[in-house]
Chain A
Amino acid sequence: MEFWLQQTLNALQLGSIYALIALGYTMVYGILRLINFAHGDIFMVGAFVGLAGALWLGLPMVPTLLFTMACTALLGVTIERLAYKPLRNAPRVSAVITALGIGIFLEHFVLGTVGAEPRAFPALIAGGRFDLPGGLTVNSVQILIIGVSVVLMLGLDWFIRGTLTGMAMRAISWDRSVVPLMGINVDRIISLTFAIGSALAAAGGVLFGQAYPIIDPYMGILIGWKAFIAAVVGGIGNIRGAMLGGYILGMTEIYVAAVLPSTYRDFVAFTLLLLLLVFRPTGILGRVQAQKV
C-alpha cells in the first residue's frame, strides 16, 4: 500500500507536466479544430528559455517561471499570426502540415543555436525530503511541480468559466461565425488562446527541467505526443478532460513501470489508452458535438 501511494506521488508529478502540455493541445483544438503538432516543441523551447533565464540571467525559481511563460507565450502568438492565421480558411490538412513543419523548424532552430548535446538544467529550489504520515516521503521538487501545476490549472479553470474572455473562447469553440456579432474580435481571442497554451507548456518545460534535469532539442517530440494522447484520452477540446488525461497517463506509465520491466512502460501504457479510446472514442469527458455545416 505504502509502495503504491509513493508511486502515486510520482505519478502526480509526471501527470502534472503532461496535463500542462495537454491543455495547449486541447485549447487550440477547441477553438480552431487544429491539432497543433508544434506544441510539444513549444514545450521544448520553454525548457530552453527557462534554462537561459536561470543560467544566463541568474533568475530564481518564480521569476524564471514567469519569464519563460511570457517569452514562450509571445512565441506561440507569433507562430499563430505568421503560420496559422493565413491558413484560417484553407483546408485543415494544410494547417496540420504547417504545424508539423513549425515543430521541425523549432527543433532545428534550437539544435543550430544551442547545439545537440543535452544540457543540464540547474536546480532552482533547495532539495529536501519531507516525511508524510504513513511512511511516505515527498521531495521539494514534487511539491513544486504538483503545487505550481494545480495553481495554474485552477487559475485556467476559473478563467475559462468565470470571465467574459473565457466565455468567448467557449463560444468560439461552439460557433465561431456568430461570435463577431457579440462585439468580440475572434482573432484576438485566438491569439490569446495560443498565448495561454504556450505559457502553460513553458511552465511544464521549466518544471520538467527541475524533475528530469537533462534537456535536449528533441525532448518535445515524445513528450508532446504523449501529452496529445492525454488530451485525446480526456476528450480533446475539453479543458478539464486534458487535466484528467494528463494525470491518467502519468499514473498509467508509473504504475506499469512499477510492476513490469521499464522497457514495457510505453508499450503497455499506450495499449491501455488505445483500448480506452476503442470503447470511448470521444475520450472520457468528450462529447459528440453536432457537426456544423
Chain B
Amino acid sequence: MSETRPDPKHGLALGGTVAGEPLLTLEDVHVSYGNIRAVRGISMEVRQGEIVTLIGANGAGKTTTLRAISRLIPIAQGRMSYRGRDLTRYPAHQVVGLGICHVPEGRGVFANLTVRENLMLATYSRRGKGDINQDLERVYSTFPRLAERRNQYAGTLSGGEQQMLAVGRALMTGGDLMLLDEPSMGLAPILVEEIFRILVEINRQGTTLLLVEQNARMALQIAHRAYVLETGAIRVSGPARELLDDPRVREAYLGA
C-alpha cells in the first residue's frame, strides 16, 4: 500500500530550490474573456526537472493560465517564453512541437477512437524525435490497463482509465514539459493516489510537470514549488513543503 502512495519526501530531492535551466517563463501575463479579466499579471517560472503546482479555488484562473501557455487562448499582454522562444509567436498546434504537452481539464480523450488511436494521434506532428514504438511500449508499461484495453474505444474506459490515457497521450507527443489540468477531478481517492504516484514516476524519468490542482494537499505533497492563485493573480509562492505549513495556505486550501 505504501508503494502506491506518493512519496511525501519527494519534494526534498530538489530541496525546493533551483533545479535545472528555466524551461517556461511567464512575465506579467494578462488574459481576458471579453470584459472579464481572468488572469491579471501572472509571473512564474518552471525549471527543467521540476514539479511545479498551481493551486487555487475554482475560477482563480488556473485553467486559463494553462490554456494561454498552450496558445489555445490569446493573451492580452505580457510575455511567455519556452526555452527562450517567444510562445506568442506560435499557433496552438505548433506548441506541441516545441515540447509542451497539455493534459486538458476533463481529460479530452477522443471517445470515438480506440486507446491505441488516441495515443498514436498524439504523434501527428512528431518527426524523427525518438522512437514512437518505444514510447508506445513505455506508455503501456507505465499504464498496464491501457495496454489491456488498447483496441477498445476510449469512450468505454472508466474515468481513471481515461485520465491515464490523457496522460499517456501527452507522453506520446514526446514533450519535455507536461501541463496537467486537474488530473484528480472526479476520481476516487485511491485512483487519485495512483495517478499522482505515476506523475512522480514520470517526473523522475525526466518530464517536467506544471500541475494545476484543486486538491492542494496532494499537489503540494508531490511538488517542488508552488504558486497560489487567487482571482487571477499570484498571492503566495515558494517551496511546496513550506506552503504546506504556511498558515494562509493551510487555512484557505488545506482546510486546517
Q: Which residues of A contact B (CB under 8 A)?
A: 164, 167-168, 170-171, 173-175, 177-178, 180-186
Contact = CB atoms under 8 A, between A and B. Distances in A.
B76 interface: no
Interface string B25-64: 0000000000000000000000000000000000000000
Contact of B108 (A167, A173, A178, A184): A178
B149 interface: no
Contacts of B108: 175, 177-178, 181
Contacts of A173: 112
Contacts of B92: 180-181
The interface centre, meaning the residue of A181, A185, A186 with most chain B CB atoms within 10 A of its CB, is A181
Contact of A185 (B93, B104, B112, B173): B93
Given A167-B121, A178-B108, A180-B72, 17 more contacts: A164-B120, A167-B113, A167-B120, A170-B110, A170-B113, A171-B110, A174-B113, A180-B93, A180-B95, A181-B92, A181-B96, A182-B96, A182-B121, A182-B169, A182-B173, A183-B125, A183-B126
Contacts of A185: 91, 93
A180 B100 CA distance: 12
A167 B122 contact: no
Interface string B114-131: 000100111111100000
Given A167-B117, A183-B96, A183-B124, A177 B110 contact: no
Given A167-B120, A178-B104, A183 B110 contact: no
Q: What range describes how many residues of B lie at the interface? A: 20 to 34
Contacts of A167: 113, 117, 120-121
A184 B113 contact: no
Interface of B: 70-72, 91-97, 101-102, 104, 108, 110-113, 117, 120-126, 169, 173
A177 B67 CA distance: 11
A183 B90 CA distance: 12
18 contacts: A164-B123, A167-B117, A167-B121, A170-B117, A171-B113, A173-B112, A180-B72, A180-B92, A180-B96, A181-B70, A181-B102, A181-B104, A182-B121, A182-B122, A183-B96, A183-B126, A184-B124, A185-B91
B88 to A, nearest CB: 15
A186 B121 CA distance: 13
- The secondary-structure label for the interface of chain A is helix
Contacts of A164: 120-121, 123-124
Nearest to B70: A181
A172 to B, nearest CB: 9
A181 B124 CA distance: 10
Nearest to A287: B112
A181 B113 contact: no
A66 to B, nearest CB: 28
Contacts of B110: 170-171, 174-175, 178
Contacts of B112: 170-171, 173-174
A184 B173 CA distance: 11
Contacts of B72: 177, 180-181
B180 to A, nearest CB: 12
Nearest to B92: A180
A285 to B, nearest CB: 13
Contact of A171 (B91, B93, B121): B121
Contacts of B169: 182
B123 to A, nearest CB: 7
Contacts of B70: 180-181
The interface centre, meaning the residue of B95, B102, B124, B126 with most chain A CB atoms within 10 A of its CB, is B124
